[in-house]
């Protein structure tokens, strides 16, 4: 029997580029250019690209040494065991959900840009009902995921590269390019704005790691995975740099069209209305492709974690007709819909990169740990300048995570708060699994009764006019009713273990009675 | 007797889940000012963050607690 041939270097590079070339460039340049760094985003792109390259060196070593299913989740699990692996898997999963929500929101923005040329009335209606449309888009893609439709993959990537090349050439040869824009206000917010922009545009690069998913089917993975990772990480830097250069040269930082995507606006300036239409369609295709990929990725991570017993087993359920993990797809789609309704682009960007950066930091630490604990492991590629490279990779990942908060960007602070909240959920769910359900249920019962009693007491005092309301926007009578529910539910949660034992006891008694009846019957 | 208690578990569990979802919805409404709650109740920016964090944290805890009770009922069917 002929052995199936694996995918070669070209396909691996295309897989890396398909992860990196996506909808991000249509949405991220905008905020970074008009609000953070002005023309300084060129420098931000170089810094971001170099940091990504540094992190990819760690991926090269681990990807070549462990060409297995699960990518970074597997590397971290091998280095640190189940607990850290579980946390990494959760963050990766959540990052996919946030990225998918961002893609859905960006799709609606691109649709609105398309209709700005065709019919401004329809554009206004789209912007007015953006959240309904984003739910519809996610639902449609969710159904596609369940039906197991094939992705366009390399065709889309090559089409995008050609389109972007056309944009760059057109930008330079058209009369609209004005080099003065590049020096008009290099860093309007100083170094702070430059670093903030670097963090903000960084998600444009992180998709290159997507190719580790192809590691299992790669030909000579020990050679081709590192080459593919490095090539795609290197190719993406000049491509994005040239695109940003043309966009900045075409659109001045003081331009009034700040609400429109920078790339679409620049395309409109260079090619006229056709440019706007073509780039809006391209943006929509990129968003749909990214949304589909994120849905598949989240579904595959959920399946892997369910297989390892961290997530409920039901997520592994396979559709009888389409052979896909339909429960994981439905759960993921539901969560993406909820997130996309928020519609807050900067928040979703920070939240998506928050999860990815934590995973990056853990991958770099895993490399250091594995070098120590498994020195004889077969490593077809060794990260140069060890341990400096993974240490720098770790430091930059953490720095990119923290810097926006240090600069006081409200969106980053919101994303951090959400990230910490999600981390708390992740850790709680791990301990829920480890400590056992009933212990957690009893603890929650105690919290419910305590909170209910405090709310009831304060609401009662407020009704009597003896205390200020803690929640002035909720009536004290409603708070009193709610506290009753909390106390009652808390009582039942507190007695969960006793109820279970009683039920077991009843079953045992019943079994004993039946056995006695049977014995009596035979004795007679 | 046991069936009655199980039904009560379901009732209070479901009530707590609904309550938790409402609490989370109020927190999100406040944060994103969907129904202009911030102006309506004259909530300052500092107090807003405090309310949102508090409501979200308790909303999630109540949601899990309520779901446990519903699950208890589901298991005992």
Cα-Cα-Cα-Cα torsion A279, A282, A283, A288, nearest 10 degrees, comes to 170
Query: In chain A, which residues have their Cβ closer than 8 Å to the Cβ of B19?
Result: 482, 485-486
- The interface pTM score, or ipTM, of the predicted complex is 0.89
- Residue for token digits 């087993």? A313
Q: Measured between CB atoms, which of A444, A485, A506 is closest to B12?
A: A485
Q: How far apart are the CA of B12 and the nearest CA of chain A, in angstroms?
A: 5
* Confidence (pLDDT) at A2: 45
Asked if residues A154 and A314 have their Cβ atoms less than 8 Å apart, the reply is no
Mark yes or no for CB contact B65/A474 under 8 Å: no
Asked if residues A366 and A61 have their Cβ atoms less than 8 Å apart, the reply is no
Q: How far apart are the CA of A344 and the nearest CA of chain B, in angstroms?
A: 9
Query: In chain B, which residues have their Cβ closer than 8 Å to the Cβ of A473?
Result: 26, 30, 37, 40-41, 43
Q: How far apart are the CA of A421 and the nearest CA of chain B, in angstroms?
A: 8
- Residue for token digits 């206004």? A124
Asked if residues B37 and A473 have their Cβ atoms less than 8 Å apart, the reply is yes
Query: In chain B, which residues have their Cβ closer than 8 Å to the Cβ of A447?
Result: 61, 65
- Secondary structure class of A220 (helix, strand, coil): coil
Interchain CB contact of B62 with A (< 8 Å):
yes
Instruction: Determine the Cα–Cα distance for residues A498 and A442; give it in Å rounded to an integer.
Output: 10
Ramachandran region, residue A465 (left: φ > 0; alpha: ψ -120 to 50; beta: rest)? left
> How many domains are contained in chain B?
1
Look up the domain containing B65 and give its range. Answer: 2-75
Pairs of residues, one from chain A and one from chain B, whose beta carbons lie less than 8 Å apart: 70
Instruction: Determine the Cα–Cα distance for residues A208 and A57; give it in Å rounded to an integer.
Output: 12
How does DSSP assign A276-316, residue by residue? HHHHHHHHHHHHHHHHHHHHHHHHHHHHHHHHTTSS-GGGG
Q: Measured between CB atoms, which of B16, B41, B68 is closest to A496?
A: B68
Neighbours of A309 (CB within 10 A): 11
What's the token pair of residue A139? 């639902």
Instruction: Determine the Cα–Cα distance for residues A139 and A132; give it in Å rounded to an integer.
Output: 11
Neighbours of A272 (CB within 10 A): 12
Q: Give this prediction's pTM.
A: 0.69
Mark yes or no for CB contact B41/A490 under 8 Å: no
Instruction: Determine the Cα–Cα distance for residues A14 and A241; give it in Å rounded to an integer.
Output: 19
Taking CA atoms, B14 is separated from A443, A450, B8, B17, B65, in Å, by: 19, 19, 10, 5, 10
Taking CA atoms, A316 is separated from A72, A139, A451, in Å, by: 20, 20, 37
Q: Which residue has the higher pLDDT, B61 or A209?
A: B61
How does DSSP assign A65-105, residue by residue? H---TTTHHHHHHHHH-HHHHHHHHHHHHHHHHHHHHHHHH
Interface residues on A facing B, Cβ-Cβ cutoff 8 A: 342, 344, 414, 417, 421, 425, 428, 437, 441, 444-445, 447-448, 451, 471-474, 482, 485-486, 488-490, 492-493, 496, 499, 502-503, 506
Q: What is the pLDDT along chain A (524 residues), one digit of tens a residue?
A: 444 456 677 777 777 777 777 778 888 888 888 877 888 888 989 988 888 888 888 888 888 888 776 677 788 888 888 778 877 888 888 888 888 888 888 888 888 888 887 777 777 776 666 666 666 676 676 666 555 555 556 677 788 888 888 888 888 887 667 766 666 766 777 777 788 888 888 888 877 777 776 666 677 777 888 888 888 888 888 889 998 888 888 887 666 555 567 888 888 888 888 888 888 888 888 887 777 777 777 777 777 777 777 777 777 767 776 666 677 777 777 777 777 776 666 777 777 777 788 888 899 999 999 999 888 888 888 888 888 899 999 998 888 877 776 776 666 666 677 677 667 766 776 776 666 777 778 888 888 888 888 888 888 888 888 777 777 778 888 888 989 999 999 888 888 766 666 666 666 677 777 888 878 877 76
Q: Which long-range contacts (CB under 8 A, 24 or more apart) does A353-356 make?
A: A353/A95, A353/A199, A353/A202, A353/A203, A353/A206, A353/A400, A354/A91, A354/A95, A354/A98, A354/A401, A354/A415, A354/A416, A354/A419, A355/A91, A355/A92, A355/A94, A355/A95, A355/A98, A355/A419, A356/A91, A356/A92, A356/A95, A356/A203, A356/A206
**Dihedral of alpha carbons A152, A157, A159, A163, sign:** positive
* Confidence (pLDDT) at A1: 44
Query: In chain B, which residues have their Cβ closer than 8 Å to the Cβ of A348?
Result: none
Q: How many Å from the N-terminal Cα to the C-terminal Cα in chain B?
A: 15
Q: Calculate the CA A389 to chain-centre distance.
A: 25
Instruction: Determine the Cα–Cα distance for residues A205 and A50; give it in Å rounded to an integer.
Output: 10
Cα-Cα-Cα-Cα torsion A389, A394, A396, A401, nearest 10 degrees, comes to 170
In this structure, what DSSP letter does residue A260 have?
S
pLDDT digits (tens, 9 = 90+) for A318-366: 777 666 667 777 777 777 777 777 666 677 777 777 778 888 889 999 9
| Residues in a beta bridge with A7 | A218
């Amino acid at each position: 029997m002929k052995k199936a041939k694996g995918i070669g270097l070209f396909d691996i590079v295309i897989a890396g580029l398909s992860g990196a070339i996506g909808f991000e460039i249509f949405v991220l340049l905008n905020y970074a250019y008009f609000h953070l760094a002005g023309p300084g985003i060129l420098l931000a792109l170089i810094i971001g690209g170099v940091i990504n390259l540094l992190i990819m060196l760690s991926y090269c070593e681990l990807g070549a040494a462990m060409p297995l299913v699960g990518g970074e989740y597997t590397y971290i699990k091998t280095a640190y065991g189940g607990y850290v692996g579980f946390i990494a898997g959760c963050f990766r999963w959540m990052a996919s959900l946030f990225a998918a929500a961002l893609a859905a929101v960006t799709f609606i923005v691109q649709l609105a840009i398309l209709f700005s040329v065709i019919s401004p009335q329809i554009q206004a209606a789209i912007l007015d009902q953006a959240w309904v449309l984003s739910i519809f888009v996610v639902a449609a893609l969710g159904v596609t995921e369940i039906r197991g439709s094939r992705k366009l993959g390399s065709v889309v990537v090559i089409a995008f590269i050609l389109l972007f090349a056309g944009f760059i050439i057109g930008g330079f040869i058209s009369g609209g390019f004005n080099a003065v824009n590049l020096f008009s206000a290099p860093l309007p917010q100083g170094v702070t704005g430059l670093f903030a922009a670097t963090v903000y545009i960084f998600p444009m690069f992180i998709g290159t790691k997507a190719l580790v998913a192809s590691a299992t089917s790669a030909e000579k993975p020990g050679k081709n995975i590192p080459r593919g990772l490095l090539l795609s990480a290197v190719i993406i830097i000049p491509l994005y740099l040239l695109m940003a250069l043309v966009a900045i040269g075409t659109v001045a930082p003081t331009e009034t069209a700040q609400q429109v995507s920078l790339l679409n606006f620049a395309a409109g300036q260079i090619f006229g209305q056709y440019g706007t239409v073509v780039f809006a369609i391209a943006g929509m295709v990129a968003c749909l492709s990214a949304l589909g990929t994120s849905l598949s990725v989240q579904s595959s991570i959920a399946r892997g974690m369910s297989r390892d017993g961290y997530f409920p087993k039901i997520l592994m359920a396979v559709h009888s007709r389409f052979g896909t993990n339909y429960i994981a797809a439905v759960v993921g789609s539901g969560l993406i819909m909820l997130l996309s309704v928020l519609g807050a682009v900067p928040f979703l960007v920070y939240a998506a990169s928050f999860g990815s950066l934590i995973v990056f930091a853990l991958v770099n630490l895993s490399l250091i740990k594995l070098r120590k604990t498994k020195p004889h492991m077969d490593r077809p590629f060794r990260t140069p300048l060890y341990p400096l490279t993974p240490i720098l990779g770790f430091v930059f990942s953490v720095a990119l995570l923290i810097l926006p908060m240090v600069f006081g960007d409200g969106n980053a602070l919101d994303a951090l708060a959400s990230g910490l909240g999600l981390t708390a959920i992740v850790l709680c769910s791990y301990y829920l699994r480890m400590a056992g359900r009933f212990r957690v249920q009893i603890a929650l019962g105690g919290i419910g009764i305590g909170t209910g009693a405090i709310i009831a007491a304060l609401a009662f005092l407020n009704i009597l006019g003896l205390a200020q309301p803690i929640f002035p926007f909720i009536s004290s009578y409603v708070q009193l009713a709610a506290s009753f529910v909390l106390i009652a539910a808390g009582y039942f949660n507190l007695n969960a273990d006793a109820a279970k034992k009683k039920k077991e006891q009843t079953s045992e008694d019943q079994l004993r009675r039946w056995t006695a009846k049977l014995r009596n019957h035979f004795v007679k | 007797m046991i069936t009655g208690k199980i039904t009560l578990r379901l009732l209070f569990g479901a009530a707590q889940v609904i309550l938790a979802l409402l609490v989370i919805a109020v927190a999100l409404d406040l944060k994103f000012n969907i129904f202009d709650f911030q102006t309506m109740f004259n909530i300052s920016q500092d107090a807003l963050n405090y309310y949102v964090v508090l409501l979200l944290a308790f909303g999630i805890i109540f949601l899990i607690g309520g779901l446990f009770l519903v699950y208890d009922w589901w298991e005992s069917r």
